[in-house]
Every structure is written in C-alpha cells, then in structure tokens.
Amino acid sequence: MIVGGGGTGGALAHDLALRGLRVTLVERGEITSGTTGRHHGLLHSGARYAVKDRESAVECIEENRILRTIAPGSFELNDGLFVALTDEEAAYEKLFFDSCEASQIPARRVGRAEALRLEPNLNPDLRCAVQVPDGTMDAMRLPLRFFATARRNGADIRPFTEVVGMSMTTPTSVDGVQVVDRASGRRYDIGADLVVNAAGPWGEKISRMGGVDVPIQPSPGILVAVRGRFANMVINRLHASGDGDIVLPQRELSVIGTSSWVTDDPDHLAVPADHVEAMFREGSAMIPSLRGARIRASWSAARPLIGERGASTGRELSRTFKCFDHEADDGVSGFVTIAGGKATTLRAMAESTADMVCRKLGVDRPCATRETELLPHTAYYA
Ligand SMILES: Cc1cc2nc3c(=O)[nH]c(=O)nc-3n(C[C@H](O)[C@H](O)[C@H](O)COP(=O)(O)OP(=O)(O)OC[C@H]3O[C@@H](n4cnc5c(N)ncnc54)[C@H](O)[C@@H]3O)c2cc1C
C-alpha cells in the first residue's frame, strides 16, 4: 500500500509492480496534485547543489542520465548556464566548477562573448558562465509515465481516496489504512502487508496516524510564469542558492523561481507579493527584458525536506532523501516512510524504498527501473 500519488509514490508503484508485488496506491486528490504537479520543471544536473550539498548533487546527475534513457521525449535537453554577474560571483566560479567536476557533473567554462551568443537576452554585464546538463521537464507528464507503466503492470491506482487513519491490530503494528472515497463519501479499510508513507510534505501527518514521528519540514517556495521564452537554456545565477535565481523556459513561457520559507501547514500556502517582486528583481538581473514581462500565473508549493522543525528558511536543509523503517526505528511494524529528495530523483527514491520493502517482505527481486523504458504519459488516460 502506497499513500500519496506524487512523483515519489508513482515511481515506487512502478518499481514494486515491476518486481511482481501487488500494489495499491491511494491519493487524496488527482494524481500529481501535491507538490509534484507544481514544481519548477527543472531536470537538475546537480550543479545547483555541487558546492554545498554534494550528496544531492551526485544523486541528481546520476538520475538525470537515467531519466533521459527511460523517458525519452519527456525533456527539453537545453542545458543550463550559470552566469556570474559580479566580481564576487566571478571569484566563486572556480569553487563551483571544481565542485561540479568532483560530483561528476560535466561542466564547461563559457566566456562572456560566447554566453551572449548562446543567449542574447542575458545581461550584457555578465562576467563569465558555466554550462551544465540541466534540462526542462513537464512536472506532470514525467510522473504520469511512471503511473501509466505501473498500472499496465498491475498496480491499482486510486485517486480521490484519502487516508484518514491506519488500521492497527495492536498499537505497534500497521495492517492497512482507513480511507474515504472523496467522490462517494464511502469509508472503507484496505488491508496491506506493508504501508509506505509517500505523502511528501504531508508525510508527518500520515506518520502520526501510525503513532510515529518523522522529521519532515515542509518548505514552500513560489514560482512565477511569464509569457514568452526569454532564453532557450535554463539560466541560473552563479552563486550559493538564493531567491529568484533560476529562469526556466517551459514551452512558450518562462518560469522564474523560487523562494523558500518554512511552514507547519502545507495545505494553506500564500503567494506573498514581495516574493513575486523578488522573482522579477532577481530574474531581471540575469535577463533584463524580464522586467516588462506579462505574468501568466504565480503559485506556491511545499518541498518535503528532511529536517527537524525550526529551520529558518529551508535553504540550509539538504535536498537528499531518506527511507525510514518504523519497525527498526520506532518499534512499529508494517510501516515505512520515504521523504525528502527532488522530482529529479524520484526513481532513485523509489529504488531505495522498494529495496527496503522487499527486504522486509522477504522478496528477493532486483530493481529493474534503471533499464525499463516508460510508457508515454498519454497511456495513463488510455
Ligand atoms: C517551489 C518548488 C520548486 C521545485 N522545483 C523543482 C524542480 O525544478 N526540479 C526538481 O527536481 N524538484 C523540484 N522541486 C522538488 C519536488 O517538487 C519535490 O521534491 C517532489 O515533487 C515531491 O514529490 P512527492 O511525491 O514526494 O510529494 P507530493 O508530490 O506532494 O506527493 C504527496 C501526495 O500525497 C498526497 N496526500 C497527502 N495526504 C494524503 C492522504 N491523507 N491520503 C492520500 N494522499 C495524501 C498529496 O495530495 C500529494 O499528492 C520543487 C519544489 C518546490 C516546492
């Protein structure tokens, strides 16, 4: 039983179904209606994390390579440019470049003139740039390919089915979930050998239903989409991660992101006006013509980061992921949580979780998702 139909739950359903397990996934809304369907759309090369979060950088570049082979056609393989605008950023370039190399991220130094040839809308005062294999993805279509393939292999995917409690024969044993069908209002139980909590920023709430605590810190950020493509590559600012320092072309839009704060309630997220202003200010520092761009939409979503409550903005927390075995950690059997990570690392998160699930259920089948090409996203609706 998987709780949560974001990218993580979908990739896990696919992995477990390929290994021959009987899988049911429940999602309280439409598939990808949580954080997954609202993310920036960046297929990370890992460069953003190379200096300060090496583990996450290495995960990203490995998964970037695998996703290109198992989900052909799902990405705009446009590469990314990290641009230095100040003396300080130009001085940071060496550390950035060396850190990319140390993380096995192919990086190429690009001079000012070449950067402007590649992307004529860039700020002409830029000092230097570094090119890396970032890409653009559709936040919904990539995970839909995992759901489509999982379902073709027998997984039972139930959207609009909300978990409202755990079925527990004793206070230390989870045997399934209690759900409400949000279309009909019917309440029923679903028994399971093992329940995996893949509820992203809602993961802590689900874990409490099983009587355990997981350190998930929901960390929202906003995104602003404007009409028109202002660059064809993903444009990033060459400095430590900050607000509004990525401009990503997405079809005929450009999406500027993001900001970062922390919250206890991922259901009620604001889109603060000063954050929208910051997206324009920082985005137009890299691409001056963005200042006059017309807004198509602005929205927010919450990252499911691992970390004890009390973080200041969320930027200090790693983007890596972790599987929690609640039997080993808390003495509650039949219950596992997967948390953290990125949309880029959904397959790796699923592989680690499926390995844990198989170990616990005594199933000896290797992961096959690295080499299994996914069905197209349209197959989900077929
Ligand atoms: C602003 C922003 C920008 C980002 N940009 C990028 C990016 O460009 N590239 C990248 O790789 N990553 C990006 N990320 C990170 C990425 O979006 C997340 O790491 C990823 O989408 C999390 O997926 P998930 O499946 O773990 O969580 P979710 O997608 O949130 O899935 C959890 C699901 O659980 C469901 N659920 C909750 N409670 C219940 C319940 N009681 N019963 C049933 N279901 C329930 C929710 O409805 C939800 O659909 C970004 C994140 C943010 C916030």
Q: How far is the CA of 129 from the centre of ligand 1 (A)?
A: 31
Q: What is the mean pLDDT of residues 191-211?
A: 97
Q: How far is the CA of 211 from the centre of ligand 1 (A)?
A: 23
Q: What is the mean pLDDT of residues 144-148?
A: 98
Do 301 and 331 lie in one domain? The reply is no
Q: Which two tokens stand for residue 104?
A: 């096995």
Do 100 and 144 lie in one domain? The reply is no
Residue 192 backbone dihedrals phi, psi, to 5 degrees:
-155, 145
Question: Is residue 176 in some structural domain?
Answer: yes
**H or E segment to which residue 340 belongs:** strand 335-340
Q: What is the mean pLDDT of residues 291-320?
A: 86
CATH number at residue 294: 3.30.9.10
Do 8 and 150 lie in one domain? The reply is yes
Please give the mean pLDDT across all residues of the chain.
96
Beta-ladder partners of 216: 306
Do 249 and 123 lie in one domain? The reply is yes
Angle between helices 7-18 and 346-361 (to 10 degrees): 50
Q: Is 217 in the pocket of ligand 1 (CB under 6 A)?
A: no
Question: Is the pLDDT assigned to residue 256 strictly greater than 80?
Answer: yes
Which residue matches tokens 């300060």?
52
CATH number at residue 312: 3.50.50.60
Question: Is residue 160 in some structural domain?
Answer: yes
Nearest to 45 by CA among 56, 30, 31: 56
d(CA 199, CA 285): 36
Which residue matches tokens 């320092």?
245
pTM check: above 0.85: yes
Do 174 and 233 lie in one domain? The reply is no
d(CA 280, CA 182): 39
Give the domain extent around 103.
80-132+219-306
- 154 three-class SS: coil
Q: How many domains does the chain fold into?
A: 2
Do 242 and 362 lie in one domain? The reply is no
Do residues 70 and 372 touch, judged by C-beta distance below 8 A?
Answer: yes
- Which of 25, 33, 35 gets mutated to test ligand 1 (max ligand atoms within 8 A of its CB)? 35
Q: Is 8 in the pocket of ligand 1 (CB under 6 A)?
A: yes
Question: Is the pLDDT assigned to residue 345 strictly greater than 80?
Answer: yes
Q: What is the mean pLDDT of residues 263-271?
A: 95
- 267, 289, 306 - which closes a domain: 306
- 289, 306, 323 - which closes a domain: 306
**H or E segment to which residue 307 belongs:** none
Q: What is the mean pLDDT of residues 110-119?
A: 98
Do 90 and 164 lie in one domain? The reply is no
- 306, 324, 359 - which closes a domain: 306
The pLDDT score that the predictor gives to residue 309 is 64
Q: How far is the CA of 214 from the centre of ligand 1 (A)?
A: 16
Q: Is 26 in the pocket of ligand 1 (CB under 6 A)?
A: yes
Q: How far is the CA of 87 from the centre of ligand 1 (A)?
A: 37
Question: Is residue 319 in some structural domain?
Answer: yes
Do 238 and 312 lie in one domain? The reply is no
- Which of 160, 163, 202 gets mutated to test ligand 1 (max ligand atoms within 8 A of its CB)? 202
Beta-ladder partners of 250: 253
Do 223 and 302 lie in one domain? The reply is yes
**H or E segment to which residue 136 belongs:** strand 135-137
Q: Which atom of ligand 1 is nearest to the CA of 200?
A: 27
